[in-house]
Amino acid sequence: MTRYTVAIDESPAGWKTVEWVSTCVGQPTDSVRLLTVSEFYGEALTRSEQRLHKAAAFLRKAHPDLVVEEDVTGGPTADRLVFDAGDGDVLVIGGNQVHRFLSALSGRVAERVVAHAVTPVVVVPERWVASTGPVVVGVDSRTAASALAFAADVASQQGRRLVFVRAWELPSVASPYGMVYLDTDRKLWEHESQLELDAAIRAVSRSHPDLVSRAEMRQGSPRHVMLRAAEEASLVVVGRRHRTAIGAFLLGSVGETLMHDGQTPVCIVPPLRVAAIRREAVAQTTSRRA
């Protein structure tokens, strides 16, 4: 059972979210909530509702038994998406790549949503084309657990292969003459990366013994390695390290690079502790309602 919250707006990327989720749903218990956020002085309510009706009709035609809800809500877009997605399992939003300047003027909504979401967020590029490729997951020591669990579940549900990718690069230090790479530590860093990759494979094998997978270890910066790996994928899954959009921008987030430069949907998964907080909050809300 997966409950998708799908954000829709008037942009081309907004409609791509609907097309993407249509390729993912299939379980009898899956459900989709179509959501449009209408900010102050936003578009007319009638126009928002028409767009939702069109999206719902598209999904019901492809999946007659799918439970589809339509909702127009108000408030600051990023904050509202983060709040409303807390009742679901996955938030799906569009990624504006062609019109980056307009996206920046509107406050970089996708980046802010990804930075604060308590559920996995799938960002669908506006130039996305459906693919039958594998699910690719980035493996590292800080975010692997949450990303691995999500990627394995998606690959299993959709009958796709899972590709583990571990990027590694030599450590370096700054000097008056530029960057100095510590080549003598090559074997050590490569060995540690292999250990992390092996641990990820064992973890997934225990939870999904029938899943077809392969592992790759590539030397290079994580951003560039994952961007290349995404070219063959139907979905790329990475863990979230940063808690703010500006932190991801300044420190070179892998998810940020994939969102802006890749043509493959990317799912950024928050740490497991964030998901645990979310489950506890939902449980408390449910008990109060009861």
Q: At a CB cut-off of 8 Å and minimum separation 6, what does 118 contact?
A: 82, 85, 86, 270, 274, 275, 277, 278
Residue 16 domain-assigned? yes
Question: Are residues 55 and 96 located together in one domain of the fold?
Answer: yes
Question: Are residues 123 and 17 located together in one domain of the fold?
Answer: yes
Say how many domains are in the chain.
2
Question: Are residues 109 and 8 located together in one domain of the fold?
Answer: yes
Q: Which CATH number is 119's domain given? A: 3.40.50.620
pLDDT at site 26? 79
pLDDT tens column, 176-190: 555 555 555 677 778
Residues of the chain with pLDDT under 70: 39-43, 97-107, 143, 170-185, 242-252, 272-290
pLDDT at site 174? 53
pLDDT at site 85? 86
pLDDT tens column, 89-147: 999 999 875 555 444 444 478 888 888 888 999 999 988 999 999 999 999 877 678 89
CB 156 within 8 A of CB 127: no
Among candidate residues 74, 104, 128, the one where a domain is terminated:
128
pTM above 0.75, yes or no: yes
pLDDT at site 98? 56
Residue 284 domain-assigned? no
Residue 8 domain-assigned? yes
Alpha-carbon span 120 to 69, nearest angstrom: 20
Residue 178 domain-assigned? yes
Alpha-carbon span 86 to 46, nearest angstrom: 26
Q: Domain span at residue 35?
A: 3-128
Alpha-carbon span 88 to 225, nearest angstrom: 31
CB 37 within 8 A of CB 121: no
Task: Centre a 10 Å sphere on the Cβ of residue 130 and count the other Cβ atoms it contains.
Answer: 11
Residue 64 domain-assigned? yes
Which of 150, 183, 148 minimizes the C-alpha distance to 169? 183
**Which residues of 142-192 form beta strands (DSSP E)?**
162-168, 172-175, 178-181
pLDDT at site 277? 47
Looking at this protein, which amino acid is placed at residue 85? A
